[in-house]
Amino acid sequence: MMAPFYKFGLFGDNIGLVVAFLVGIGFGFFLERAGFGSSRKLAAQFYFTDLTVFKVMFTAIVTAMLGVYYLSVFGFMDLSLVYLTPTFLAPQVVGGLILGAGFVVGGYCPGTACVGIATGRIDALVLFIGIFVGIFGFSEFFPLVSGFYNATPMGQLTLPQVTRLPYGLLVFAVVLMALGGFAGAEWVEKRMAARQAEA
Amino acid sequence: MADLMRKLSLNGRLALTAFVLGFLALFAGTPYHGADATINTKELSLTMAADADQVGVTTLADWIIQGKSNFRVVDVRHATAYAEYHIPPAENIPVAGLGQSSLLHNEKIVLYADDGVRAAQAWMLLKAKGFKGVYILRGGLDAWKDSVLFPRIPGNPTPAQAVEFARAREVSRFFGGTPQALAGDSTAARQVAMPKLTMPASPTAGAPKKKKKEGC
């Protein structure tokens, strides 16, 4: 997120932390504005009664993708400087399922738990403590799982690399997928609301 | 168009904007700017002036001993020279292969050759290609041999020096070198035959490393 400015030496590591702090505050603010401080709203996602999480996240993805794409096309930023998390397929699938299960049970993901705490929600605080218990347990047992943790490394992948399709085509495809997803989400929400009204 | 925009809801307008931008992306081409490189002379000169383009050999030795894994050491000499001796964790990417290497733009990369010149050329190439954390090993392999593998250790150190020398001795042994004990002070002519260089058993069999992730 700070790559283009960081690269040109506009600020160093220390100022980078300040920038990260400000970006984090902004992130938290918009999560709260989207209603993600409430575990009920977040958990409703998994019962298909309120797909706000899906819509907000996909909006963020599309906005960021278009912004980054056009800034790079016009030469304002260097896309190759943006850090990509390397893919470790098997551990990331398992980790995603664990996080998802925790998300359904606890009603928060780590970021939204911080937002919930900021507005004084006890459930968010409990979940946040749980996160640290989990981190501690994971660290203590790390030697046991480190083999799996580093399994199936695939490097830093992007969709154009994997699919070998032109970059612009994939941008368009993701936009279409998002728009289709939004329409589908609204439809599902309406149906669920109708079903609840019947019951 | 403006009329249509007015009729739509906010969501509709955003969706239409995203659709139009996505459609235009079909024709806008790739965002990566290929093989051409640019040199930001100001940035480079400032980096050089601040001495932020180099890493000393003892610093590198410390990193390796501490088992740090946030950097890559790259030997830019020919494969034959590399096979003869190289700094333990180094990988061999001769200058001609730098363009197609697997190095990543955000990695911390320490370059070395026999002396500073070839490494400095490689440094310039990588910098021009937008690599951010590239460093030259100060003095190259020559300095590595002089200060890390075969440090000259005078026979009559002061107490303050003694600690430093003991440390140098340990570091030297770690990398399979031999400290050179000198009678008298270090100005004595140094004609010690360079011992045959052999590769020590790799002390840093690093597992693939993961960087910290950014999460939701």
Q: Is B73 exposed, middle or buried (0-12, 13-18, 19+ CB in 10 A)?
A: buried
Q: At what angle do helices A110-118 and A13-33 cross, to 10 degrees?
A: 80
Residue B181 to residues A10, B142, B158, Cα–Cα distance (Å): 48, 19, 15
Domain ranges of chain B: 41-144, 150-182
pLDDT digits (tens, 9 = 90+) for A32-73: 998 898 888 888 888 888 998 899 889 999 999 999 999 888
Which residue in A3, A7, A179 is closest to B18 by CB distance? A179
Token pair recorded at residue A141: 């047992």
How far apart, in whole angstroms, are the C-alpha atoms of residue A121 and residue A100?
21
Judge: B210–A79 Cβ closer than 8 Å, yes or no. no
Domain ranges of chain A: 3-198
A166 in contact with chain B, both atoms CB, cutoff 8 A: yes
How far apart, in whole angstroms, are the C-alpha atoms of residue B8 and residue B115?
67
Judge: B132–A62 Cβ closer than 8 Å, yes or no. no
Measure B43 CA to nearest chain A CA, in Å.
Answer: 7
Average pLDDT, chain B: 77
Which residue in A7, A72, A176 is closest to B22 by CB distance? A176
Judge: B104–A156 Cβ closer than 8 Å, yes or no. yes
Which range among A129-133, B92-96, B121-125, B189-193 has the greatest average pLDDT?
A: A129-133
Strands (E) in A17-170, as ranges, are 87-88, 153-155
Query: What's the fold here for domain B41-144?
Result: Oxidized Rhodanese; domain 1 (3.40.250)
Q: Report, as an integer, the average pLDDT of A118-147.
A: 93
A5 in contact with chain B, both atoms CB, cutoff 8 A: no
Measure B204 CA to nearest chain A CA, in Å.
Answer: 17
Q: At what angle do helices A89-106 and A122-140 cross, to 10 degrees?
A: 150
* Number of Cα atoms under 13 Å in the Cβ half of residue A99: 12
Task: Give me the interface pTM, i.e. the ipTM.
Answer: 0.75
Token pair recorded at residue B82: 């590399």
Query: Is residue A26 pLDDT above 90, yes or no?
Result: yes
Residue A186 to residues A48, A174, A193, B19, Cα–Cα distance (Å): 10, 18, 11, 18
Give the containing element (helix H, strand E) for A168.
helix A167-198
Chain A, residues 106-135, CB within 8 A of chain B, namely 109-112
How far apart, in whole angstroms, are the C-alpha atoms of residue A117 and residue A40?
15
Residue B16 to residues A12, B5, B8, B12, Cα–Cα distance (Å): 39, 9, 9, 6
Q: Specify the pTM.
A: 0.56
Strands (E) in A68-179, as ranges, are 87-88, 153-155
A83 in contact with chain B, both atoms CB, cutoff 8 A: yes
